[in-house]
Amino acid sequence: MIYLLFAWNLVLTVAVEGAVMGMLFRRRDYMYYSMLANVITNPAVNLLLFFCVGNLGWSYWPVLGVLEMAALAAEAYIYSKICDFGSGCRGLLTATGVSVFLNLLSWGTGYVINNLVF
């Protein structure tokens, strides 16, 4: 049953972040890159969160915070390498800003929807 929740979270994240990436840059390839980044990071965050909280008994919010920061960094790195945000520090800063913005939107959307539905 937990895997259905994981799948729901992935679909919601891909939909929200992909749509916003498309609206921001008006490029279909950037929407694909967003999906790629989220398929890499979202399952890892959910599985590690489930393991650390469920099996190790660690506190939910600190673990979630650390994992989300790692996902932000991974997605920013992916965006900096495959999107045309420029090179060097400027490109990395743009990619980091995009990653933070998209993740805040999708996390907030998921938080609201999950609290309404579940």
Long-range CB pairs of 75-80, under 8 A, 24+ apart, other chains included: 75/37, 75/38, 75/41, 75/99, 75/102, 75/103, 76/100, 78/33, 78/36, 78/37, 78/40, 79/33, 79/37
Query: Quick count: other Cβ atoms within 10 Å of Cβ 69?
Result: 11
Beta-carbon contacts of 110 under 8 Å, excluding residues fewer than 6 positions away, are: 9, 12, 13, 16
Collect the ranges in the chain with pLDDT lower than 50: none
Q: Express each pLDDT in 15-31 by its tens digit.
A: 999 999 999 999 999 99
pLDDT at position 69: 96
In this predicted structure, what is the pLDDT of residue 22?
96
**Which amino acid appears at position 54 of this protein?**
G
